[in-house]
Chain A
């Protein structure tokens, strides 16, 4: 039972890790925690279901279009709302509160927009990408979709790592997040890099939505999964991409073990408890850099 719980926890943890990566990429580039990340997850899932059910597209095309939609949505939001708030400042410290409030407003707006559609009153579910009989490893049971989730998560993480470390654009993104003024001085288009960071991060949230849609149930409130992403980021360190992955997996496994050894009712408070413990014992998280205090 424990090994099954750990295995299932690792699978869910991979999805939490993707959401955490989305949050951390935006945080590293703009110092903003994107409270609308959960709604990007939700929008991608509903878009996927619409494309599959009503337009009968094949799964691969559905994934590309759904992820593409939230990719564009994130870029559009950054270019219109956040760019306007930051203005011509390279340092965004003074605009932090308005930007965070803007992401909260976006979250409510997206949720409200989805609620208007009558079909969303019913609980819905995205068909899985990988279906078929489960795989047995002794007493352990693994669904093909679960294997797919782990595989996709690993692939995305590898691509991100390669992109950020080995490509010019990735290095420019990292430079922008470390020191926007210096990056601008050497000719990096800071505004474009920020928009790209938002687009990539939103795309990651969209991938999470396609993976989560078959596992969780789709309701306009499914965006609350962002709390798992935030908890995973805090555990791993809000400045570390590797930390997100480790944090997500730790969170997924701990949730299941808490459900078995304490109570299923305690599962809901586990992320918040973990956040409190990490902030007290190791505020930087497992892999994070030392936090700078900012006046907001």
Chain B
């Protein structure tokens, strides 16, 4: 009897185990069947891609909405939003509406990184769209690429963020320092027939890129660079650098200065009687032309004054009217500030990229679509383009002659051909 009891027991245990395994298999099969059924059921959310449902695409937007640089963030972000709202009104993008979440990055690296991480880990956005300050957004680039989240810069123009190009970051929708400097140099050589050029830039990364590209383009076009003056961004007296430039006897002066030093340079240039030499100023130094002219307070200093511009609104006032009216309609009739146009091209590119990526939207698919982008818009004189190894969108500028009262677009457009400076 003792011999039989263990055998009976073992047999019973075997049968029980087999039964348990069968039940587990049946349960697993049912679970798979249920999952497939749920996925296939029309109207049910697809969890395949963060921030994408059947009805919506969620985009996390950020800009400086407070602090001293608020003017560079509020209106450009509002301009981008209005284009998304226009797309939604027209039925959405491939049947999905764009849902926008907004945060304030204060143009500060710590705040910007915190905002980006919140969007990615808490809000699970599909992509990021924002940033007006290159120095701040550069702090988030590594994280964005690590997390493989597509990111379109709003209106930041710094070269650091797009050179070297990284997979998930698309930017410089209003040009880079390379394209500004190249445009100036081409205009100086081809239109002004300059043979000797002087360059005055800041001693930061912007300035280095500016000076290097200007010199490289001048070298290519056979123009001698007779002076390069580097000044700190907080300089309060530009007597010394302007005297040295005057001593070098250039045919043209290129300035890549920020707003305050740009005024000082134009003032001193006028005071020292250098106004027979054309002065070309990068767009970042002229946020509002009328305020610039008022600050310079010397009409003679603007007789031979030019600046770069990345948009079509000055050459075609109807373009500006169109977007200003659209802005007012979405912003309770408020007149936009001077930076509104800079918020348009990035949203235009994102909308086009989402369309090209199709209904079966994924982050990787969107990145591939953006790499094929070649978009002509009424807001820009040139194309917005990317490529497998290119992440700066706009390379074409126009040159504006400004005499303190009126602005005139000079003939032609000037495109950086991608040459690299040493």
Residue of B243, B259, B272, B288 with highest tally of chain A CB at under 10 A: B243
Which of chain A's residues 234-287 have a Cβ closer than 8 Å to chain B? 255-256, 258-260, 263-265, 267-268
Residues of B near A124 (CB, < 8 A) are 291, 295
Residues of B near A259 (CB, < 8 A) are 237, 239-241
Which of chain A's residues 1-40 have a Cβ closer than 8 Å to chain B? 1, 4-5, 8-9, 12
Which of chain B's residues 245-268 have a Cβ closer than 8 Å to chain A? 246-247, 259-260, 263-264
Decide yes or no whether A79 CB sits under 8 A from chain B: no
Residues of A near B70 (CB, < 8 A) are 121
Asked if A255 meets B237 with Cβ closer than 8 Å, knowing A123-B263, A123-B291, A260-B243, the reply is yes
Residues of A near B232 (CB, < 8 A) are 264-265, 267-268
Task: Looking at the assembled complex, report how far the CB atom of B69 sits from the nearest CB atom of chain A, in whole angstroms.
Answer: 8
Complexed CA–CA distance, A12 and B271 (Å): 15
Task: Looking at the assembled complex, report how far the CB atom of A255 sits from the nearest CB atom of chain B, in whole angstroms.
Answer: 7
Residues of A near B244 (CB, < 8 A) are 1, 260
Complexed CA–CA distance, A214 and B272 (Å): 16
0 or 1 for each of B72-92: is its CB under 8 Å from A? (1 = yes): 000000000000000000000
CB-contact partner of B239 in A8, A125, A265, under 8 A: A8
Contact, CB under 8 Å: A256 / B239: yes
Which of chain B's residues 315-369 have a Cβ closer than 8 Å to chain A? none
Contact, CB under 8 Å: B294 / A125: yes
Asked if A263 meets B243 with Cβ closer than 8 Å, knowing A115-B68, A123-B259, A123-B295, the reply is no
Contact, CB under 8 Å: A125 / B203: no
Residues of A near B294 (CB, < 8 A) are 125
Contact, CB under 8 Å: B263 / A125: yes
Residue of B234, B237, B264 with highest tally of chain A CB at under 10 A: B237
Decide yes or no whether A83 CB sits under 8 A from chain B: no
Complexed CA–CA distance, A216 and B229 (Å): 20
Across the interface, name the chain B residue whose C-beta is closest to A134. B271
Across the interface, name the chain B residue whose C-beta is closest to A255. B237
Decide yes or no whether A159 CB sits under 8 A from chain B: no
Complexed CA–CA distance, A265 and B230 (Å): 7
Contact, CB under 8 Å: A260 / B240: yes
Asked if A122 meets B288 with Cβ closer than 8 Å, knowing A141-B272, A264-B230, A265-B230, the reply is yes
Complexed CA–CA distance, A252 and B238 (Å): 12
Contact, CB under 8 Å: A121 / B239: no
Task: Looking at the assembled complex, report how far the CB atom of A177 sits from the nearest CB atom of chain B, in whole angstroms.
Answer: 31
Contact, CB under 8 Å: B246 / A1: yes
Decide yes or no whether B226 CB sits under 8 A from chain A: no
Residues of A near B7 (CB, < 8 A) are none
Contact, CB under 8 Å: B230 / A225: no
Task: Looking at the assembled complex, report how far the CB atom of A14 sits from the nearest CB atom of chain B, in whole angstroms.
Answer: 13
Contact, CB under 8 Å: B263 / A267: no
Decide yes or no whether B277 CB sits under 8 A from chain A: no
Asked if A263 meets B263 with Cβ closer than 8 Å, knowing A4-B243, A256-B240, the reply is no
Across the interface, name the chain A residue whose C-beta is closest to B240. A259
Decide yes or no whether A148 CB sits under 8 A from chain B: no
Task: Looking at the assembled complex, report how far the CB atom of B290 sits from the nearest CB atom of chain A, in whole angstroms.
Answer: 11
CB-contact partner of B230 in A9, A219, A263, under 8 A: A263
Contact, CB under 8 Å: B263 / A217: yes
Asked if A267 meets B297 with Cβ closer than 8 Å, knowing A1-B244, A143-B271, A260-B243, the reply is no
Residues of B near A268 (CB, < 8 A) are 232, 234-235
Across the interface, name the chain B residue whose C-beta is closest to A127. B297
Residues of A near B291 (CB, < 8 A) are 122-124
Contact, CB under 8 Å: B238 / A128: no
Task: Looking at the assembled complex, report how far the CB atom of A122 sits from the nearest CB atom of chain B, in whole angstroms.
Answer: 6
Residues of B near A217 (CB, < 8 A) are 236, 260, 263-264, 295
Decide yes or no whether B164 CB sits under 8 A from chain A: no
Task: Looking at the assembled complex, report how far the CB atom of B93 sits from the nearest CB atom of chain A, in whole angstroms.
Answer: 35
Complexed CA–CA distance, A91 and B84 (Å): 69
Across the interface, name the chain B residue whose C-beta is closest to A136. B273
Decide yes or no whether B231 CB sits under 8 A from chain A: yes
0 or 1 for each of A221-240: is its CB under 8 Å from B? (1 = yes): 00001000000000000000
Across the interface, name the chain B residue whose C-beta is closest to A125. B295
Residues of B near A5 (CB, < 8 A) are 239-240, 243
Complexed CA–CA distance, A4 and B240 (Å): 9
Residues of A near B287 (CB, < 8 A) are 122
Task: Looking at the assembled complex, report how far the CB atom of A187 sits from the nearest CB atom of chain B, in whole angstroms.
Answer: 46
Complexed CA–CA distance, A266 and B247 (Å): 20
Across the interface, name the chain A residue whose C-beta is closest to B239. A8
Complexed CA–CA distance, A143 and B271 (Å): 7
CB-contact partner of A214 in B234, B243, B247, B297, under 8 A: B297
Residues of A near B230 (CB, < 8 A) are 263-265
Decide yes or no whether B383 CB sits under 8 A from chain A: no
Contact, CB under 8 Å: B235 / A267: yes
Decide yes or no whether B409 CB sits under 8 A from chain A: no
Complexed CA–CA distance, A5 and B260 (Å): 21
0 or 1 for each of B54-81: is its CB under 8 Å from A? (1 = yes): 0000000000000010110000000000
Residues of A near B272 (CB, < 8 A) are 4, 141
Complexed CA–CA distance, A240 and B153 (Å): 56
Across the interface, name the chain A residue whose C-beta is closest to B244. A260
Task: Looking at the assembled complex, report how far the CB atom of A129 sits from the nearest CB atom of chain B, in whole angstroms.
Answer: 12
Contact, CB under 8 Å: B288 / A267: no
The 26 listed contacts between A and B (C-beta, < 8 Å) are A1-B243, A4-B243, A4-B272, A121-B71, A122-B287, A123-B263, A123-B295, A134-B271, A141-B272, A143-B271, A216-B237, A216-B264, A217-B236, A217-B295, A225-B236, A256-B239, A256-B240, A258-B240, A259-B239, A259-B241, A260-B243, A260-B244, A264-B232, A264-B235, A265-B232, A267-B240
In the complex, besides A4-B243, A255-B237, 14 extra interface pairs with C-beta distance below 8 angstroms are: A1-B244, A5-B243, A122-B71, A122-B287, A124-B291, A125-B263, A125-B294, A134-B273, A217-B236, A217-B295, A225-B236, A256-B240, A265-B203, A268-B235
